[in-house]
Amino acid sequence: MGTPTLLDRDELLAAWHRLTPKAELAGWHRYELDELGEAVLNPFPSARRQIVLTDAYCQLTEQMGHLAVMSAAVVTPSFGIRVPDVVWMPAEKWDQFDRDEPVPFVPDLCIEVLIDRDPRQDLSRRVRAYLEGGSAEVIVVGQCGQVEFWGVRGLRQASVFGITLSFDQMYFDPVATRNPSSQSEFNPLAAK
């Protein structure tokens, strides 16, 4: 059996459109496509997760302007069509495509929130795909509320955009907060 062939951007978008009518019944963007064009269903987010996503979005728009969106489908070069929790890019990039379609490239800033997610579940591949696709920064909000800034050279001490994010601890997993060593360390830039 041969190695599966990764789909290019146009093939991924065609697969997305074939899936869209079926997915509308389940809710907008409850799914993603892997690099082979296979659907990956995402569970509905909990109220806690939705609050933190909204908080991240609001803090970002206050600091960067209202050019951010939550849950936008994004075409990555190596990991299919993924749906980051929040994305931001300058106005001129928003004007380059039909905003009713998946973003045909990776935005300048992507945020992933790990509440209700297994941190080992494709997070490294997801962050790496955003960075390889042209994102200047990926922000990861951990299960304890910790904020990490990732760039193509690795973990940063601060955001290149000057962003600061802070969250009320009441929305984070109290078990993980008491025992942060239970969280899986990851390095999205480690060898593939």
pLDDT of residue 64: 95
Give me the residues of the chain with pLDDT under 70, please. Answer: 1-3, 20-29, 119-121, 174-186, 190-192
Instruction: Give the C-alpha separation, 119 to 187, whole Å.
Output: 11
Contact call for residues 140 and 127 (beta carbons, < 8 A): yes
Per-residue pLDDT reduced to its tens digit, 46-78? 899 999 999 999 999 999 998 999 999 999 989
Domains belonging to the chain, first-starting first, are: 45-182 (3.90.1570.10)
Instruction: Give the C-alpha separation, 13 to 35, whole Å.
Output: 11
The model's pTM is 0.85
Instruction: Give the C-alpha separation, 136 to 143, whole Å.
Output: 23
pLDDT of residue 176: 54
Strands 81-82 and 68-70 turn out to be: unpaired
Instruction: Give the C-alpha separation, 99 to 10, whole Å.
Output: 16
Contact call for residues 33 and 20 (beta carbons, < 8 A): no
Instruction: Give the C-alpha separation, 138 to 87, whole Å.
Output: 9
pLDDT of residue 98: 86
